[in-house]
Amino acid sequence: MPMLVTGDNSLQLFLGWEGVGLASYLLIHFWFTRLQADKAATKAMLVNRVGDFGLAPGISGRFTLFQTVDFSTIFARASAPRNSWISCNMRFNAITLICILLFIGAVGKSAQIGLHTWSPDAMEGPTPVSASIHAATMVTAGVFMIARCSPLFEYPPTALIVITSAGATTSFLAATTGILQNDLKRVIAYSTCSQLGYMIFACGISNYSVSVFHLMNHAFFKALLFLSAGSVIHAMSDEQDMRKMGGLASSFPFTYAMMLMGSLSLIGFPFLTGFYSKDVILELAYTKYTISGNFAFWLGSVSYQLIHSGETSYDVMMRPFLWPFLQYFWLSGVSL
């Protein structure tokens, strides 16, 4: 991850990118004797390779066009008019094509719509691994890559429209898909996909600093949620089905308080960090007087309201928080 973050050229970024992917495969495969863990690790590796089929040609095309892999030189030369390719008697805007290919790599790594299926299955790994992968490292690599290459993404408006649409759609669909989940960690994983959608469409409306701001906030409260969920699962003898939990608040008051704090930040409760970053993203989307900006604002607002007060609130906040901790679970006439 340090190589990915500190690299000043495309090759270092790509090596760090692949290193993060390899580390995630090994961590998901930690319990190698479990068949489901083996399948989840293989699936994560294969889906990320699909994204890399976009990233690698994007980096190659960038080198072909600018004759360098250094970021500062690429950004300085991006304004030159020599940005068209002719292939099969068709003219392509080179920078637009490069940015879309780079975004495909980010889609695979950051679990956006279409290549998101590996993310919930990655919950087969240990809970600290889930906290690392889904909070601060692997899934945020795609968002960081877009923010790192932001001067290049500013030239093709078509690429920004694609990024905005994909991010807003992921934010909405991932937030609603989790309604059908009963696994505690999978619910939090789908909420991670939704928050990554927020970060992606913030990049699509050219507000990269706000996207990184939400990335930082999300890393803290999502890691808190995952570790609290791990505490609950460990106390329940590795049981992850929320239908078999209940009344744990009196038994685990500290875990209860931590889960409450993380859940309130996730739903954007006023004066917590999640509230400030989400509010700024939606406010800036509203001020973008473009079709893609309006689309992102309204779809993001619907997703936010669902998470905050609608059906998805029951999923991403009430189910992983209120259900295990506050309800009473009856088994053979005994209340736990």
163-188 residue pLDDT tens: 888 888 888 888 888 777 788 888 88
- What was the pLDDT predicted at 302? 58
Q: What are phi and psi of 334, to 5 degrees?
A: -110, 130
For range 159-164, the mean pLDDT: 86
The CA distances from residue 158 to 32, 57, 154, 204, in Å, are 43, 19, 10, 10
* C-alpha angle 288-293-294 in degrees, rounded to nearest 5: 100
Task: Say whether pLDDT at 326 is over 60.
Answer: no
pLDDT band at residue 6 using 50, 70 and 90 as cut-offs: confident
109 burial level (CB within 10 Å; 0-12, 13-18, 19+): buried
**CB-facing half-sphere around the CA of 289: CA atoms within 13 A:** 0
- What was the pLDDT predicted at 329? 47
Over the stretch 218-260, which tens digit does the pLDDT of each residue have? 888 888 888 888 888 888 777 777 777 766 777 778 888 888 8
Q: Give the CA diameter of the chain.
A: 76
Task: Say whether pLDDT at 296 is over 50.
Answer: yes
Element (H, E) at 330: strand 330-331
Task: Say whether pLDDT at 16 is over 80.
Answer: yes
Over the stretch 66-93, which tens digit does the pLDDT of each residue have? 888 888 888 888 777 666 665 555 566 7
Average pLDDT, the chain: 78
Element (H, E) at 30: none
- What was the pLDDT predicted at 293? 58
- What was the pLDDT predicted at 312? 38
Say what percent of the chain tops pLDDT 90: 1
pLDDT band at residue 336 using 50, 70 and 90 as cut-offs: very low
- What was the pLDDT predicted at 265? 83
Over the stretch 24-77, which tens digit does the pLDDT of each residue have? 888 888 888 888 888 888 888 888 888 888 888 888 888 888 888 888 888 888
Interatomic CA distance for residues 27 and 39, integer angstroms: 13
215 closest CA partner among 313, 130, 143: 143
Q: What are phi and psi of 85, to 5 degrees?
A: -120, 145
- Helix 184-204 to helix 291-309 angle (10° resolution) is 150
